[in-house]
Amino acid sequence: MLIRITNTAEPATDLGFLLHKNPANLHSVDLAFGKAHVFYSSATPQRCTACLLVELDPVELVRGGRRLEEYVNDRPYVSSSYLTVAMGRVFGTALAGNCQKRPDLVHARLPLEVEVEVIRLKEGGSILKRLFEPLGYRVEAARIPLDDEFPEWGESEYLRFRLVAKTTVHDCLSHLYVLLPVLDDAKHYFIGEAEVDKLLRHGEGWLRGHPEREFIVQRYLKRKPALVDQALASLLAEEVAAVEAAESAAEQSSHAERDLERPMTLSTIRLNLVASRFRALGARSVVDLGCGEGKLLRRLLADQQFEQITGMDVSHRALETAARTLDLNRMPEHQRKRIRLMQGSLLYRDKRLNGFDAAALVEVIEHLDRSRLAVLERVVFEFARPRYVIVTTPNREYNALFPELPPGALRHDDHRFEWNRAEFKEWAETTASRFGYSASLEPVGPVDDRYGAPCQMAVFSLKGGAAG
Ligand code: SAH
């Protein structure tokens, strides 16, 4: 099995320093299952290609009591978990992010190409795109025909692929180290707690925000529930810390949304509107996703139609404030039974979100990176699947009417995006049709002839079918 890594930034041979392998030499290492060799197929100032060749000894794999594999198989040729183990051995220093001779190079983002000769993928090349494109790679994959001379025999399950990106060697190796075993659904090594540590260590800085995070964790840990839970819980803890840090940084900032909205009490208009829509829809159980300090929860509590009210937020601090301002501790028993607060992230599928009539996402989506919205969509519309979902988000066009806001600025420092009316409509309609909902849009707040309303709302209703 063979993998090639190419750098084309001059002097391209810096790759040798980063990989700790001198381009002039052949480097060979003995492994439990064979041998690994690193050599360079080109080493010019313009282009430098390091090749890692792993020779698997098929006899070694079945010898004695070790019976790792069936005797005849494709393992010697196909890039798999064996390749990852070899990478860990020969590129260990680079994977750890070290480069003693040239520490200045470690953070250099270089134009890199990675070519993986043969990989077996029953699912085809689309999975490569799902895994590598969110990390900034251009992915090219080609199926290998069963037999070059007899194309009529059709395609095999084998592919070769190429990845191109401007990234650091350390990041690139970390991505491969985690994702090659994800692609190989038949990992040869034992999966235990040590693998959770490896996954978190090598996934640091990118796995938490990857839209396919759950799939990656599942496959890396061979779907072992206890280990998968442990890894997802650690990622969730990182998530919580990151959201809290971003929120508190934004609070310190000068043009926080709250100040912009105070004169118009837009927040009050919005929350009253959402509560009255839920009432009109006949909802009895509501989950407020990203409930913050619980202002919608308070309105819902005041209306006895709502029998079960749940607030969820990723921020522990926000939930503490909600519990305090709702005065949960001193609430009479019959009221206390109607409300529940829980910590959780909208980027994780969560069984506790099942079974509600309705869900609210009030001023939440714009706090998530655009690339992660796809995960939230599945968590809410595919898995939790309430009968109704109400989403509100700012209308960017209206920002022109905030005199304090510099042109092009967003309303809140933690907003990752703000949509105009057309963009929100497009998102709402696409999402509705993808998950079998219908969507209707409404302005929230005073409507300006040119710019529309400051905030916008979409009400999603599940078409026919049963709720989750
Ligand atoms: N809905 C509230 C709060 C909006 S602010 C209101 O209208 O007043 C956005 C909230 O989303 C914050 O409380 C933040 O902690 C929460 N949030 C951000 N990312 C989240 C995530 N991934 N999962 C759950 N909540 C999240």
Strands 358-362 and 388-394: parallel
Rounded distance between C-alpha atoms, residue 67 and residue 50, angstroms: 32
Range of the domain at 304: 256-462
The pLDDT of 3-12, averaged and rounded, is 96
Query: How is residue 47 annotated by DSSP?
Result: -
pLDDT digit string, tens, across residues 122-162: 777 889 999 999 999 999 988 877 667 767 776 677 888 99
Query: d(Cα 255, Cα 410) in Å, to the nearest integer?
Result: 9
Whole-angstrom distance, CA of residue 354 vs CA of residue 56: 48
179-205 tens-digit pLDDT: 998 987 766 667 888 889 999 999 998
Tell me, using a 6 A CB cutoff, whether residue 131 lines ligand 1: no
The per-residue DSSP string of 83-102 comes to HHHHHHHHTHHHHTT--SS-
CATH code, domain with 94: 3.30.1610.20
Atom in ligand 1 nearest the alpha carbon of residue 368:
19
- Above 70 in pLDDT, residue 328? yes
What is the model's pLDDT at position 332? Answer: 85
Same domain? 335 vs 317 = yes
Residue 224 lies in a domain: yes
**Does residue 360 line the site of ligand 1, with CB under 6 A?**
no
Q: Is residue 177 included in any domain, yes or no? A: yes
Same domain, 84 and 124: yes
Share of the chain above pLDDT 70, in %: 89
Mean predicted confidence (pLDDT) in 433-448: 95
Q: Look at residues 213, 237, 253 and tell me which one is the last residue of a structural domain.
A: 253
Which of 253, 276, 300 represents a domain boundary (last residue)?
Answer: 253
Asked if residue 373 has pLDDT above 90, the reply is yes
Same domain for 262 and 376, yes or no, is: yes
Is the confidence at residue 24, as pLDDT, over 90? Answer: yes
CATH number at residue 260: 3.40.50.150
Q: What is the mean predicted confidence (pLDDT) over 239-245? A: 77
> Do 125 and 200 sit in the same domain of this protein?
no
Instruction: Looking at the CA of residue 244, tell me the nearest atom of ligand 1.
Output: 15
Reported as a single tens digit per residue, the pLDDT across 198-241 is 999 999 989 988 989 999 999 999 888 888 888 988 888 777 77
85 and 164 part of one domain: yes
pLDDT at residue 266, as a whole number: 86
Residue 362, ligand 1, Cβ within 6 A: yes
Q: Which residue is it, tokens 């480097």?
A: 27
Same domain for 359 and 212? no
Nearest to 244 by CA among 335, 319, 311: 319
Would you say the CB of residue 345 lies under 6 angstroms from ligand 1? Answer: yes
- Rounded to whole angstroms, the Cα distance separating 417 from 371 reads 11
**Residue 95 and residue 53 share a domain:** yes
Residue 237 lies inside a defined structural domain of this protein = yes
Q: Is 346 in the pocket of ligand 1 (CB under 6 A)?
A: yes
Say whether both 283 and 414 belong to one domain: yes
Residue type (1 letter), 131: L
Shared-domain flag, residues 211 and 168? no
Pocket test residue of 243, 286, 412, 413 for ligand 1, highest count of atoms within 8 A of CB: 243
Domain end position, chosen among 204, 229, 253: 253
> In the chain, how many domains are there?
3
Q: Are residues 206 and 348 in the same domain?
A: no
Q: Which of 343, 364, 393 to probe ligand 1 with, by most ligand atoms within 8 A of CB? A: 364
Residue reference for tokens 């040590």? 194
Do 57 and 175 share a domain, yes or no? yes
Q: Does 249 fall in a domain?
A: yes
Answer whether residue 266 is part of any domain: yes
- Rounded CA-CA distance 281/461 in Å is 9
What average pLDDT does this structure show over 411-425? 93
Q: Tell whether 468 is covered by a domain.
A: no
Regarding the beta carbon of 359 and ligand 1, being less than 6 Å apart is answered: no
**Position 9 pLDDT exceeds 60:** yes
Q: Are residues 400 and 434 in the same domain?
A: yes
Whether pLDDT at 76 is above 70:
no
In a domain, 450, yes or no: yes
In a domain, residue 467? The reply is: no
222 CA to centre of ligand 1 in angstroms? 32
Q: What are phi and psi of 456, to 5 degrees?
A: -135, 150
**Separation of 434 CA from ligand 1 center, angstroms?**
24
